Structure 1
Amino acid sequence: MTDPILEHLGPLAPLAGIWEGTKGDDTAPSDDRGVEKNLFRERITFEPLAPVTNHEQILFGLRYATTAWRLEEDSPFHEERGYWMWDGRAKQVLRCFTIPRGMSVLAGGTAMPDSRSFEMMAEIGSPTYGICSNQFLDEEFKTVRYELKVVVHDNDNWSYEEDTQIQIKGQSELFHHIDKNTLTRVEL
């Protein structure tokens, strides 16, 4: 039996379920503020949630949780929790999430209900699609822009690429923290 909420999720509908990726690639700041590359595996769970109404705005969405592990380790190095939302009237995809490093992001973009690929972004200081960090991160590793590209390949595979642009204290160039992976459905 199909969840009736899925028909209202627009381009997010194919993501409902549990997904695993085993060939993730992470380029991140190293301990010495240089470049560190890690291969990782991850598990993402997307659960449909009841419609959310903001007066005349109706959002349909997926509650999600992500956990990632370096391939050679048993303890996770990254977790996040949040929501992916669809505003069908405005044709907006939204992703709001927090990570336990003391950061929250609300990213958004335009998509059609049947889109199989879409992009979302957030910028520091934006009153709508923005980024908020704790004091340490703001001073030492200030995230100034977040970009996400999603491609749904078929009903059982999708991929993403994230570019978190960070101004590291004492460095003139932005650091592009890149995460990408292809995920396979393990459960609907």
Structure 2
Amino acid sequence: MNDPILEHLGPLAALAGTWEGTKGDDTAPSDDRGVEQNLFRERIRFEPIKPPNNHEQQLYGLRYATTAWRLEEENPFHEERGYWLWDGAANQVLRCFTIPRGISVLAGGTVEPDATSFELFAELGSPTYGICSNLFLDQEFKTVRFELKVVVHDNDAWSYEEDTQIQIKGKPDLFHHIDKNTLSRVQL
């Protein structure tokens, strides 16, 4: 991809392109509010976007779309759409996304421009990096914190681990909904 925006994306530049992972692991709440394990495959597409006009703040970013399928199944069990953004003046990576279950997240963190690993977070009630859910999820499966760790291994592989911390109604302890995968580039 020969896009001049890539030189302004800091640590996100390595993510541009299309990626596939075939050995994802999802620990999620089951239908009976217990625990279920799902092995999955996924496809993520990151496309550079024209920098948005945000007054003095200069953001560069990638539009992204994720689709995940349980192994051996045809229909996806997870989709999300959003943006990964780089604010080079503040050394901030932002990830804003929506999941069609009725939840939106804006996660962020301080990251060096040449970093090959970084962490982002969002917390319920935060005025900056926060979480917003629909009424049902807020009452039954309240997401109180989101943590993301990203490691870029080389030009053709990266991995992530997400910890979505959920307060399930009637349960005393937080549920750690963990998603993790290693992805390989299939197209630049």
Q: Which residue of 2 aligns with 1:165?
A: 165
Give per-residue Cα distances to partners, 1:57-87, cap 9 Å, x unaligned.
0100000000000002100000000000000
Give per-residue Cα distances to partners, 1:3-52, cap 9 Å, x unaligned.
10000000000000000000000000000000000000000000000111
| Partners of 2:20 and 2:72 in 1: CA distance | 16
Instruction: Give me the identity figure in percent.
Output: 82
TM-score, scaled relative to structure 2: 0.99
TM-score, scaled relative to structure 1: 0.99
Where do residues 134-153 of structure 1 align in structure 2 (5 Å cutoff)? 134-153=134-153
How many pairs does the alignment contain? Answer: 188
Give per-residue Cα distances to partners, 1:138-161, cap 9 Å, x unaligned.
000000000000000000000000
Q: Which residue of 1 aligns with 2:14?
A: 14
Where do residues 34-183 of structure 1 align in structure 2 (5 Å cutoff)? 34-183=34-183
AA matched with 2:114: D
| Partners of 1:76 and 1:157 in 2: CA distance | 23
| Partners of 2:119 and 2:11 in 1: CA distance | 11
| Partners of 1:28 and 1:170 in 2: CA distance | 17
AA matched with 1:91: N
| Partners of 2:86 and 2:66 in 1: CA distance | 19
1:54 Cα deviation from its structure 2 partner? 1.1
| Partners of 1:107 and 1:135 in 2: CA distance | 21
Query: Unmatched 5+ residue regions in structure 1?
Result: none
CA RMSD of aligned residues (A): 0.6
| Partners of 2:152 and 2:53 in 1: CA distance | 27
Q: Which residue of 1 aligns with 2:26?
A: 26
Runs of 4+ in 1 over 3 A off after TM superposition: none
| Partners of 1:52 and 1:86 in 2: CA distance | 11
AA matched with 1:166: I
| Partners of 1:156 and 1:15 in 2: CA distance | 9
